[in-house]
Amino acid sequence: MFRVTGILSAASSPAAASFSAALRLSVVPTLVLASPPHPRWFSTFSRSFLGGRKLQSRIPSPYQIRLSGFSTLKARASFSSGSNPTREILVQHVLVKEGDSELFAELQKRILDGEDMSELAAEYSICPSKKDGGLLGWVKLGQMVPEFEEAAFKAELNHVVTCKTQFGWHLLQVLSEREPVKDIQVEELHSKMQDPLFMEEAQLVDVREPDEIAKASLPGFQVFPLRQFESWAPEITSKLNPDKDTFAMCKAGGRSLNVANWLLSQGFKSVYTVAGGIQAYSLKVDPSIPTY
């Protein structure tokens, strides 16, 4: 449950600015993976103001928000995590039509009085994300239309802010923030693997299938085949420690990136994907590792 503890200033109306990108929100039920079946825990959203495809976790709903006021775009002058370009934020919002000022004011008051933002989004938002309680998922700089991005990235965690775009008025809040999946080059991984302390502390995860691992493998990697996702995913935090550095590998990097993003969504703090996978390791580090 998320609650706002800060005192917020009274709202004012930020000026609208035009932008060329059309806002198109659609929720795609499954993520296309390299190996079927598609895990039911994976979902993705695509939109014109968000570039590419992203994994999003199932976030418990509702998020109950209790506020003592609203802040606006102009009221927040700095990022809560500085200007880190890799920072990702988890965003929830309610969108109403520009001309529906009475409804917008009513929703502001109702959230101020402690009503559940997820329920208000489901009932009143005109964004397709309403079916997810207004949850847009994880986003980073450069993926959203300017007005929305500026408001979201200047917002303090769990503080509702307002902004206006050509699509209408938004009540939005940032529920969480994180660092994205990082790449590790195979040369660096090889060097680290020579250190016994690294091999003891790091969590090395191979998401390839058993028949692939029989052809080529690296020492120290635990096997979590992606096709068996439904068998190991529910207990992942009992099998791996979310606080430890975790390194995911597949054949070429695609499947491991999907799993690495999912691990982040489950609360893992430091997740790496092996760039180019075991294929790159064979080509650049150890030719004795078979390619297939």
Among the listed residues 56, 34, 44, 42, the one whose alpha carbon sits nearest the alpha carbon of residue 207: 34
250 in active site = yes
The three-point CA angle 112-117-118 to 5° equals: 170
Percentages (nearest 5) of helix, strand, coil residues in the chain: 30, 25, 45
Catalytic residue selected from 96, 189, 207, 250 = 250
β-partners of residue 249 are: 206
Q: What is the spatial order of strands in the sheet that 271-274 belongs to?
A: 182-184, 271-274, 246-249, 203-206, 222-223
Q: Is 146 exposed, middle or buried (0-12, 13-18, 19+ CB in 10 A)?
A: middle
Cβ–Cβ under 8 Å, residues 243 and 269: yes
What φ, ψ does residue 203 adopt, rounded to 5°?
A: -105, 110
Q: Which residues are catalytic?
A: 250
